[in-house]
């Protein structure tokens, strides 16, 4: 019999390596999950209540324009709600940008250890994904600019970057924008902006205001503890807002998700408390690991990147942590097989990591 005819996706689709999420369960009784950069404190209580209160209304479609949510975001961050679009997570927005601004024959640029979803979205669009070398686990503006060609359509930069934790300063970010051709879209993914406690940090709104070619994406999945509800947003120039309105799913943010996000923004002191906790325990854990001879790259996010020198040593550390019920994130998929990314959780979780690593010896040392 001849082989059956069947639908085939565009050939480039089958070249995409599926995203691998952080694992969540181990066999033993204790599981400390520090593998997905989820907020240490879970969802804000007000968000949980608002989410639950929508249950009797779940037969209703949500407000497709997410009007009340955009207004709440605008109030919180001092931005014009007309220039905000919400998404089913910020991944939804990143994908729409890739598909709308790039296609076959085009190129998108990201840094060597940049957030892996840029690659998936770019390949989905059919574009070639070009990676610029980093310097000391940090986006290198000059290396990125050197990759620009006549085919470049989009540059994606996470600031701070996941999984390295490094950040570009305001002046580096502005230098990147100034060095790009005006017709190249710069996407500044500030998923961890709420955690950053650094005088030279800028989440990106000023660059969005300055020209019609820059977008800032944000999320409720990290500081606001709503990864499971899938709510992202972006701040963009009017022309790009217009593109989103044409291509987005008509109801791309769920009813309970919108309610939870609005309530999360009203939780008193949530960002300040979360940021202070994160800075304290991130720096504490980094110091503990450093004392034990493990290299830790500087991070401004809610995670650290521990560098064990070799893939074997990183695997041994991972096995050692798992044996004690702790799940962290292997980052071989980011070209970093010698590293592990560890999310900053609650105090007892961070202490558990330090205690577990106290009796770990790097193989071969």
Ligand X SMILES: *Cc1c(COP(=O)(O)O)cnc(C)c1O
Give the binding site for ligand X (CB under 6 A): 37, 89-91, 115, 158, 162, 189, 191, 219, 221, 227, 232
Q: Using the minimum distance from each CB to ligand X, give the nearer residue, 89 or 122.
A: 89
Calculate the alpha carbon distances from 153 to 125, 191, 237, 280, 346 in Å: 12, 22, 17, 40, 41
Query: Which residue reads 């325990």 in tokens?
Result: 281
Q: Using the minimum distance from each CB to ligand X, give the nearer residue, 116 or 356.
A: 116
Minimum distance between the CB of residue 229 and ligand X, rounded to whole angstroms? 9
Minimum distance between the CB of residue 162 and ligand X, rounded to whole angstroms? 3
Which two three-digit tokens encode residue 51? Answer: 């989410």
Q: Using the minimum distance from each CB to ligand X, give the nearer residue, 115 or 235.
A: 115
Minimum distance between the CB of residue 46 and ligand X, rounded to whole angstroms? 20
Do residues 244 and 237 lie in contact, with contact meaning Cβ atoms separated by under 8 Å?
no
Minimum distance between the CB of residue 89 and ligand X, rounded to whole angstroms? 3
Minimum distance between the CB of residue 10 and ligand X, rounded to whole angstroms? 24
Do residues 114 and 156 lie in contact, with contact meaning Cβ atoms separated by under 8 Å?
yes
Nearest of 184, 183, 105 to residue 144 by alpha carbon: 184
Minimum distance between the CB of residue 361 and ligand X, rounded to whole angstroms? 31
| Residue 77 CA to its chain's centroid (Å) | 19
Minimum distance between the CB of residue 355 and ligand X, rounded to whole angstroms? 27
- Report the chain's C-alpha Rg in angstroms: 21
Calculate the alpha carbon distances from 305 to 164, 230, 361 in Å: 6, 25, 18
Nearest of 325, 274, 273 to residue 302 by alpha carbon: 274
Q: Using the minimum distance from each CB to ligand X, give the nearer residue, 35 or 90.
A: 90
Q: Using the minimum distance from each CB to ligand X, give the nearer residue, 152 or 219.
A: 219
Minimum distance between the CB of residue 225 and ligand X, rounded to whole angstroms? 11
The CA distance from 274 to 216, in Å, is 22
Which two three-digit tokens encode residue 201? Answer: 């940090």
Q: Using the minimum distance from each CB to ligand X, give the nearer residue, 100 or 139.
A: 139
Query: Which residue reads 């089958």 in tokens?
Result: 14
Q: Using the minimum distance from each CB to ligand X, give the nearer residue, 84 or 356.
A: 84
Beta-sheet pairing, 107-111 with 128-132: parallel
DSSP for residue 261: H
Which two three-digit tokens encode residue 85? Answer: 């679009």
Residue nearest to ligand X (CB): 89
Q: Using the minimum distance from each CB to ligand X, give the nearer residue, 102 or 234.
A: 234
Do residues 270 and 264 lie in contact, with contact meaning Cβ atoms separated by under 8 Å?
yes
């Amino acid at each position: 019999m001849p082989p059956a005819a069947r639908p085939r996706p565009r050939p480039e689709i089958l070249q995409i390596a599926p995203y691998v999420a952080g694992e969540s369960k181990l066999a033993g009784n204790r599981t400390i999950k520090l593998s997905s950069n989820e907020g240490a404190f879970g969802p804000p209580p007000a968000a949980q209540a608002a989410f639950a209160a929508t249950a009797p209304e779940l037969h209703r479609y949500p407000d497709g324009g997410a009007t009340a949510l955009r207004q709440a975001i605008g109030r919180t961050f001092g931005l014009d709600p007309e220039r905000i679009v919400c998404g089913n997570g910020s991944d939804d927005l990143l994908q729409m940008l890739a598909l709308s601004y790039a296609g076959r024959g085009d190129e998108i640029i990201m840094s060597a250890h940049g957030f892996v979803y840029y690659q998936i979205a770019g390949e989905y669009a059919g574009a070639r994904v070009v990676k610029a070398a980093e310097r000391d686990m940090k986006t290198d503006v000059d290396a990125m600019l050197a990759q620009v060609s006549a085919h470049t359509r989009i540059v994606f930069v996470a600031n701070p970057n996941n999984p390295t934790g490094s950040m570009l300063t305001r002046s580096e970010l502005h230098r990147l924008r100034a060095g790009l051709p005006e017709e190249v879209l710069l996407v500044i993914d500030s998923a961890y902006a709420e955690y950053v406690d650094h005088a030279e940090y800028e989440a990106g709104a000023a660059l969005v205001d300055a020209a019609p070619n820059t977008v800032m994406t944000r999320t409720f999945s990290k500081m606001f503890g709503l990864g499971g509800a899938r709510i992202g947003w972006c701040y963009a120039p009017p022309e790009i807002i217009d593109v989103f309105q044409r291509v987005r799913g008509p109801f791309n943010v769920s009813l309970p998700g919108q309610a939870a996000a609005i309530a999360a923004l009203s939780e008193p002191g949530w960002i300040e408390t979360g940021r202070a906790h994160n800075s304290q325990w991130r720096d504490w854990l980094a110091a503990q690991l450093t004392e034990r001879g493990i290299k830790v790259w500087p991070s401004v996010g809610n995670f650290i990147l521990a560098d064990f020198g070799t893939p074997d040593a990183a695997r041994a550390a991972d096995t050692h942590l798992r044996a004690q019920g702790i799940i962290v994130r292997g980052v071989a998929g980011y070209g970093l097989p010698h590293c592990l990314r560890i999310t900053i959780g609650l105090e007892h979780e961070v202490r558990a990591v330090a205690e577990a690593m106290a009796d770990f010896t790097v193989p071969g040392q």
